Chains A and B, each alone.
Chain A
Amino acid sequence: MSDAAVTTMDRKPMPGMMVYNKKLGMWVFLLSEVMFFTSLIGTYVILRFAHPDHWTDPGVVLNVPLTAVNTFLLICSSVTMVKAFASIQQGNQKGLQMWLLATILIGATFVGVQAIEYNALLGEGFGPVLDLYHAVGRGNPHEGPSLGGPLYGATFYAMTGFHGAHVTIGVFCLIFVYIRSLQGAYTQDSLEGVEVIGLYWHFVDLVWILLFTIVYLI
């Protein structure tokens, strides 16, 4: 595909969006991702307004401090991604590799923390399934009245789960870019791959800030 992009630039066609094809393609793809998360968030909003009794106060069931740290980590990974791109813009191969690796590690940590969180929540009876839902609140022994309702669990896992899947895919893509960077595939003049994966990564980060606010804080 890279040679197609090069020949396109040689052709000097109509100006279009003034960006190269891959970047435009990623923008357009992210628009469709916006609609995907819209369907999930819309479902959440409608179910929550229809059944407020299925939700609890923030922090009763969900571990807000842990996730706040995780959110901070993910924001940091956006910074490292920017640093990676800035490095290769200056032709700094070593910097690119280092910052990409940092982004990968932070991204993987985010997914790992999310898995630990899921595990703890499931242990406390906070699951997505209608018949098994029996959330007892954070740190409680396995007794006491059930808090909230199954719609809370179902929307929580749907939204955070699909976001987590996006982060995981992003990490794999970053690993691919990282390996290519070790082979010296990116230079000051050829950094499309880094920029495009960066766009995706920032988008996923942005979605998380939205999700963290509406799922954990409100």
Chain B
Amino acid sequence: MSTTTAMETHTGTAEHHELSFIRKYIFSTDHKMIAKQFLFGGLMFLALGGALAVMIRWQLGFPGRPLPMPLRILFPDTMAPGGIILPEFYNSLVTMHATFMVFFALMPLMAGVFGNLLIPLQIGAEDMAFPRINMASFWIMPVAGFIMLASFFVEGGAAGAGWTSYAPLSTSGEWTGVYMGQILWLVSLIVLGFSSILGALNYVSTVINMRAPGMTWFRIPLATWSIFITAWLLLLAIPILTGGLLLLLFDQTIGTAFFRPEGSGEPLLWQHIFWFFGHPEVYILIVPAMGFVSEVIACRSRKPIFGYHSMVVAMVSIGFLGWVVWGHHMFQSGMNPLLGMTFVVTTVVIAVPSAIKTFNWMGTLWRGNIHFDTPLLHAVAFVALFIIGGLSGIFMASAPVDIYIHDTYFIVAHLHYVLVGGSLFGIFAGITFWYPKMFGRMMNEGLGKVHFALSFLFYNMAFFPMHNLGVQGMMRRIYDPNQYEFLQGLQPLNTFISISIFCFAATQILFAFNFLWSLRAGKVAGNNPWKSNTLLWTTPSPPPHGNFPEMPTVYRGPYEYSHPDREEDYWPQDEPPATTGSGGETVTTPTPELVPGG
């Protein structure tokens, strides 16, 4: 346990020369450093997206009331004169909140951070297949983020056509008052697409080609499986979006008419292109969280994951089915009811693999020796909230019901249940679980539990009532619901939701504090603080350049917890099988992390 300091000098088989500061921390090709860069970048954009959400909720909770004092002077008259948010600026807020959260926070935090951190360490590779492409994949993100941020400062403000940028609303500034901002939005996402594709290319190649001896497909930990599937989705979905974005950019800049009805273009075509990308994208945002949660639940319940193979098959089938359901976003776009019916059926079929996963998680927890620490709490919250989000999804998957709730707050409630309750809690589970490996120290457990409890409470207080708002007819992107008499009675509920969101946002300060404070003051973690089985935990925390002193050999699956023949309740993947001694007693070799330098 106390061997970590001794190991810090040990740098594995890789080259021993010291890298310069710039090569080590900025233009690093080490997958672990790139994971950390994605982590800090993603968390910053998460905070930014959260700040925009707070602004949105201020307007909805207290319509027409000036922003509180420090914020009031921050915004020029083109955004919020006298602190009162303008409708145009509100459009930008809604658009940019979603854009930052989806493309700059959740995607980097899931695929960027954990793809980079986990894949080589869990499959026993020294680094990614293409370390320099990996570095490029990170550095494209801040460039795209800078372009996106710059759009707030150009004339007309940031894009305001929603994150879906439906044509013809997005094809011309006549409708939104946004000219340059919409162009920058498109350019930024086109640039960001390269980051995703380069990252995905790396993940796919690494998992296929760089597994350590013995790491067969069905010994790969589920977190790596989930990112592998996500990488395929990224690889195949992002180019579709890029193609669509480029054509939309031509419509706006040089005056083509792909999506402009005035030139016989087809606005509906944009919706098809967007959602053909967009639905796989939805799974890009949730499948990695499923992997993290599987890992955490198995480890903290000290039980083999229930139905490992069915977990993998379920994720693969979710990945496949994600390609044939995009029409369910467009039931209201004038689709042939027969075609709509097809999309209803394919969408509802996704409930089957989702339910398999859910029951498997519960089966894993069942009669487990559950350790209620922060990662497990977040993981169980993920399962609970994913069930609620999944069930509300069935409502809108069914076309006749969707016609009633389409583009209302019911949708907002659903997507936040899967993207905040699902993805974000999954990310919290992942960060708290793998933080010790990344930084060598544990996060504070007490603070973590308080953060979890408050987050869970305020989260549900904020988002559950939104179902109610939606069923009563409150529109999804409305600036001031009070302009309709039938929505005026919902104002107290809206105020309640807003206050809950403010509390939820404030709670995240606890997480930020815990994260930063533990970097220096956290308890030293040792190699394997959770007593987990994957190869990742056989390396020192943080792992040296090159990861493994020598190539590990894998003997078993990743979830051999509480094996009846063993004293310890875990069985690392690289531990050689027990040999029977002369007297018939079982002789096991010592676990690798107890051997200094091993």
Contact = CB atoms under 8 A, between A and B. Distances in A.
Interface of A: 1, 4, 7-8, 11-14, 16-17, 19-22, 24-25, 28-29, 31-33, 35-40, 42-43, 46-47, 50-51, 54, 128-132, 149-151, 154-155, 158, 162
Contacts of B209: 8, 13, 16-17, 19-21, 24
A115 B60 CA distance: 54
Main DSSP-derived SS at the A contact region: helix
Given A36-B242, A47-B258, A151-B257, A13 B210 contact: yes
Given A13-B211, A28-B201, A21 B130 contact: yes
Contacts of A54: 264
Contacts of A129: 254-256
A27 B257 CA distance: 34
Contact of A150 (B133, B197, B210, B264): B264
A20 B273 CA distance: 34
Nearest to A129: B255
A132 B257 CA distance: 12
Interface of B is mostly: helix
A154 B250 contact: yes
Given A130-B262, A154-B250, A25 B257 contact: no
B258 A43 contact: yes
A39 B260 CA distance: 17
Closest 9 CB pairs of A and B: A39-B243, A36-B239, A16-B209, A130-B263, A14-B211, A35-B239, A154-B256, A130-B257, A21-B129
24 contacts: A4-B131, A8-B129, A11-B551, A13-B211, A13-B213, A13-B215, A16-B208, A16-B210, A17-B209, A21-B205, A32-B197, A32-B239, A35-B240, A36-B242, A36-B243, A37-B243, A38-B239, A38-B243, A39-B242, A39-B244, A43-B244, A46-B266, A150-B256, A154-B258
Contacts, number: 145
Interface in B236-254: 236-240, 242-244, 246-247, 250, 254
Given A8-B209, A13-B212, A32-B236, 15 more contacts: A8-B129, A14-B216, A16-B209, A19-B209, A22-B130, A25-B130, A25-B133, A28-B235, A35-B240, A40-B243, A42-B273, A47-B265, A130-B262, A150-B264, A151-B265
Interface residues of B, number: 51
Contact of B240 (A7, A38, A46): A38
B263 A150 contact: yes
Contacts of B240: 35-36, 38-39
Contacts of A32: 197, 200-201, 235-236, 238-239
Given A13-B211, A13-B212, A129-B254, A43 B260 contact: no
A35 B215 contact: no
Nearest to B235: A32
